Amino acid sequence: MYNFNYYTPTKVVFGKGVESEVGNLVRENNCKKVLIHYGSGSVIKTGLLEKICKSLDEANVNYITLGGVVPNPRLSLVYEGIELCKKYSVDFILAVGGGSVIDSAKAIGYGVTNEGDVWDFYEKKRQATACLPIGVVLTIAAAGSEMSQSSVITKEEGLIKRGYSSNYSRPKFAIMNPEITMSLPKYQTSCGCVDIMMHTMERYLNYGETMEITDRMSEELLKDVMLNARILLNEPKNYNARAEVMWAGSLSHNGLMSCGNDGGDWATHQIEHELGGMYDVAHGAGLAAVWGSWARYVMDERLDRFAKFAVNVMDIKHRGDLRETAIAGIEAMERFYREIEMPISLKELGLDVSDEEMRELATKCCFGGKRTVGVVKKLGIEDVYNIYKMAK
């Protein structure tokens, strides 16, 4: 096992009705003006925004609002948010939504507290030295941004989706009421379950050393999400299943599943992010569409890990041969994706990607050849292109 730092400063307030505590939680942060940031309208339709505003009013907290965040959140709205925050001297951002809203809030937070163009951070040109404090009312279990240090933004010009990570952006608090996620469309619930699982699988299917306790927690988390994803297909209002999945989403991406291992592979995420940038697909569905192809392409580098995954997570009986066992595990995961109505190819994702486009995606993914992605196997442009081709 490797040395590690485990830093999880986010206060979690979890359970039925907890959104009514938002006013007091914001006030605890001694802020003068709050920006409530939200998405394309689900929070208005469900009445959540109204409840949040009421709670802030009761706690005598001043606020302004900015909605309009879309999945694969856009840089243009981030710029708008930065200007708004500067104009009204906002000193706290309350994200009411999912990964897209939280990530947009984090980007605005960087833009307000650092000089220059916020996109520089996402292009890895320089490092942020601060971020406005962020609070979260989570409405979808998926990205794990409510406890993570990451933010992923899409720049419309060139359709480039890039992530930036720093501990400054870890939310101060995350309010999680599983009931709020009951209004999610079935497709988004399944997308969320895939993303949650991928955050653990990226870390589990790694190259370096690991720690048995982390492996075991990862295996149980994955099995728990599979079990509850199946329940939610037929019972979207099952509170316990919603709660299991919601908490798994945070634990999967708050660093716990990286303790003692090499931090993970992340190639599947990088390969998917290009699809999100170019074709605006839902993140979880994009991950499901490419994961099997990535796994088959790299598995020979770590057959032991893939076979362990097959046996301990997918309940495959060891075939006596590592490779055969590994393949059976990958196939079982793809069967699960199918079961929860997720795609396992680009075609099933609804994309007809030309050869030329696959080359462009692969080139963008590897920054024109300046970087490789993944650690199980370090993938260059040709490798990533091959994976898109296999996923076609």
Residues lying near ligand NZQ in the complex (CB under 6 A) are found at 39-43, 71-72, 97-101, 103, 139-140, 142-145, 148, 150-152, 180-181, 183-184, 188, 192, 195, 253, 269, 276, 283
Residue 372 binding partner per list ligand NZQ, Zn ion, none, with a CB distance cut-off of 5 to 8 Å that depends on partner kind: none
CB 169 within 8 A of CB 110: yes
CB 106 within 8 A of CB 76: no
CB of 271 to ligand NZQ, least distance (A): 12
112 or 275: whose CB is closer to ligand NZQ?
Answer: 275
CB of 162 to ligand NZQ, least distance (A): 10
166 or 345: whose CB is closer to ligand NZQ?
Answer: 166
114 or 268: whose CB is closer to Zn ion?
Answer: 268
Residue choice 19, 103, 146, 195 for contact with Zn ion (CB under 5 A)? 195
Residue 39 binding partner per list ligand NZQ, Zn ion, none, with a CB distance cut-off of 5 to 8 Å that depends on partner kind: ligand NZQ
* Interaction of residue 265 with Zn ion, rule CB under 5 A: no
Chain residues 80-109 in contact with Zn ion, contact rule CB under 5 A: none
Distances (CA, A) of 11 to 43, 174, 177, 280: 22, 6, 14, 32
195 or 265: whose CB is closer to Zn ion?
Answer: 195
CB of 67 to ligand NZQ, least distance (A): 8
55 or 151: whose CB is closer to Zn ion?
Answer: 151
Pairing of strands 92-97, 134-138: parallel
CB 84 within 8 A of CB 112: no
CB of 316 to ligand NZQ, least distance (A): 26
40 or 386: whose CB is closer to ligand NZQ?
Answer: 40
CB of 253 to ligand NZQ, least distance (A): 6
Residue 61 binding partner per list Zn ion, ligand NZQ, none, with a CB distance cut-off of 5 to 8 Å that depends on partner kind: none
Q: Per residue in 354-363, is it b (16+ CB within 10 Å) or e — as a string? A: eeeebbbbbe
Nearest 5°: the CA angle 108, 245, 55 is: 50
15 or 369: whose CB is closer to ligand NZQ?
Answer: 15
Distance CA 269, CA 147 (A): 18
CB 107 within 8 A of CB 118: yes
Q: According to DSSP H, which parts of the chain are helical? A: 22-27, 42-45, 48-58, 75-87, 99-113, 119-122, 186-204, 212-234, 239-253, 267-279, 283-298, 303-312, 322-339, 355-365, 381-391
Contact pattern for Zn ion over residues 321 through 340, marking x by CB under 5 A: --------------------
Q: Which of 380, 345, 343 is nearest to 359 (CA)?
A: 380
CB 150 within 8 A of CB 109: no
Report the interface residues with Zn ion, using CB under 5 A.
Answer: 195
